[in-house]
Amino acid sequence: MKNKYSIFSLFKNAFSGHENWQRAWRDPEPKKEYDAIIVGGGGHGLATAYYLAKKHNMRNIAVVEKGWIGGGNTGRNTTIIRSNYLWDASAGLYDHALKIWEGLSQELNYNVMFSQRGVMNLAHNLQDVRDLKRRTHANRLNGIDAVWLNTDEVKKFCPIINTSPNIRYPVLGGTLQRRAGTARHDAVAWGYARGADELGVDIIQNCEVKGIKRNGNKIEGIETTKGFIKTKKIGVVAAGHSSVIASMVDIRLPLESKPLQALVSEPVKPIIDTVVMSNAVHAYVSQSDKGELVIGAGTDSYVSYSQKGSHDVVEGTLKAILELYPIFSRMKMLRQWGGIVDICPDASPIITKTNIEGLYFNCGWGTGGFKATPGSGDLFAHTIANDEPHKLNAAFSLNRFVSGDLVDEHGAAAVAH
């Protein structure tokens, strides 16, 4: 049983120099056999394991991770959480996640620093205005909070934005979802890892999957760098590397893996207390609790697993940032990095069974998976445990690419997820 984190445990450990904290999760060697194995120890994978153990009582399960947990895209994103998607299926999916976020710190006894500071999306041309207004109406019909702000209201909500009509892409208004916001990305991985570990889930790090063994149409286990592990069910949550795992069983997925970049500035005093996104000029910015500006850039246009990304993409984003926020003109950027995101043709995720019995995929989150972490884990756990999708992820099966029933969020959510 793990010690509960509280103000009292904080005091107690402060008096002993913080040297006696219990470890948050074990570091076990893999057992010979599990009832299910989750491939990928990011936020989505750990959340899946947590909900499998908690809601579906599957305790003999493992998460295998080739690096360290949360070392992939979970620790590389810009931590934005929102649910203002256009289509009904997406609204259901992302708002399910947002509702779990609202109670997550309490549930996990781990402060994920979820902050509902609002997310504002700017419109810069007439088409943007029409699209964003339409999305606001669609959101409200789905019970998701959304309001349209005119230029003056945008300026009032976030005074540092340059709302002059004379800039190249003037701000013509924007939408605001007040329930949206940010969370501490590492804490999400660590909180789910700690919660899953307490329920008996083995989290096995530095364990890369090398092959999937199957007998006809049934899963028998995985070959890893730590040997063969037997199992009948595999849930793959490998983000940018989903196609690599799929190729082990000769499945092709409708994905392209591309580097997505982000960067942070030097820390400064509080200057922006919300999240502002702009799809047309492709710039989004928020401020971390440490004071750094967190800036999201775009993806490269080509497939790459290099976790680097091109300079011109960052340059384009910073140009837009400077025009919208002249106040940032002399800020120094401290770090820049890339994560490999798996992009679907319709910019919607895939949470699905496959033609192989016992093999499930949760992928295609592309540039916007972080926000969905709790919901994705919950629904993927349901799909694995029941061998059937939950009604909220039924529309996100792999089969939609055969039936043509795509959930096209490209225009609606645009580039900045």
Partner 1 sequence: MFLINCPYCGERDQSEFSSGGEAHIERPKQPTELSDDEWADFLFMRKNIKGIQFERWNHSHGCRKWFNLIRDTSNDKIHGIYKMGEKPPKV
Please report, as ranges, the residues that interact with partner 1 according to CB under 8 A.
Answer: 241, 243-244, 247, 252-257, 301-306, 308-312, 342, 345, 401-404
Beta-strand pair 36-39/234-236 = parallel
How far out from the chain centre does Cα 338 lie? 14
Q: Kindly tell me the sign of the dihedral angle through the C-alpha atoms of 291, 292, 298, 300.
A: negative
Residue pair 175/149 in contact (Cβ under 8 Å)? The answer is yes
To the nearest whole angstrom, how small is the minimum distance from the Cβ of residue 242 to partner 1? 8
Q: Considering beta carbons, is residue 31 or 311 the nearer one to partner 1?
A: 311
Q: Minimum distance from CB of 190 to partner 1 (Å)?
A: 28
Q: Which is nearer to partner 1, 202 or 256 (CB)?
A: 256
Query: Residue 247 CB, nearest distance to partner 1 (Å)?
Result: 7
Q: Taking the complex as a whole, how short is the minimal distance between the CB of residue 4 and partner 1, in angstroms?
A: 42
**By C-beta, is 147 or 406 nearer to partner 1?**
406
Contact 274, 117 (CB under 8 A): yes
Closer to partner 1 by Cβ: residue 135 or 241: 241
The DSSP 8-state label assigned to residue 301 in this structure reads S
Q: How far is the CB of 246 from partner 1 (least distance, A)?
A: 9
Q: Which is nearer to partner 1, 382 or 400 (CB)?
A: 400
Place of tokens 């540092």: 160
Q: How far is the CB of 81 from partner 1 (least distance, A)?
A: 27
- Dist. CA 347–CA 410, nearest whole Å: 6
Distance CA 395, CA 105 (A): 29
Q: Specify the residue, 182 or 243, whose C-beta has the smaller distance to partner 1.
A: 243
Q: Helix, strand or coil for residue 390? A: coil
Report the C-alpha gap between 115 and 272 in whole angstroms.
13
- E-strand stretches of 111-217: 119-123, 147-149, 173-177, 181-182, 202-204, 209-215
